[in-house]
């Protein structure tokens, strides 16, 4: 009895924005466990961004031009940076609101 595990590409998903510009791509893998070449377990993994998937063994170069792969990787990195900046901005807004409330409180107390 021989047990083997296989991880193979399953799907490639593309998304376009409302202007018809490619805005994202994700891939999914299938994990199979075989006993004497008979599949005994078959699981679909969660999809991942194309930028990550290329490092995970998905054959991107068979489907996409390298320039597209590179552009999607840059897009993913920029989106992650944007998301981090949004979090920082929101934290600073909250801090500014707290400081403004404290200033109003102190001004009201000093006017008494």
Angular region, 93: left φ>0, alpha ψ -120 to 50, beta rest: alpha
Other residues' Cβ atoms within 10 Å of the Cβ of residue 27:
23
- Is residue 9 a contact partner of residue 59, using CB atoms and an 8 Å limit? yes
Reported as a single tens digit per residue, the pLDDT across 41-66 is 999 988 887 766 666 666 677 777 77
Reported as a single tens digit per residue, the pLDDT across 12-44 is 888 888 988 877 788 888 999 999 988 899 999
> What pLDDT score was predicted for residue 84?
95
For residue 27, list its beta bridge partners: 12, 48
């Amino acid at each position: 009895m021989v047990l083997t595990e296989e991880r193979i590409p399953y799907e490639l998903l593309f998304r376009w924005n409302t202007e018809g510009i490619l805005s994202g791509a994700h891939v999914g893998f299938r994990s199979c466990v075989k006993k004497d070449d008979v599949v005994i377990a078959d699981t679909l993994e969660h999809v991942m961004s194309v930028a990550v998937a290329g490092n995970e063994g998905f054959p991107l170069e068979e489907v996409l031009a390298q320039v597209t792969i590179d552009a999607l990787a840059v897009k993913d990195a920029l989106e992650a940076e944007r998301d981090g900046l949004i979090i920082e901005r929101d934290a600073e807004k909250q801090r500014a609101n707290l400081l403004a409330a404290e200033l109003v409180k102190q001004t009201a107390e000093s006017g008494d």
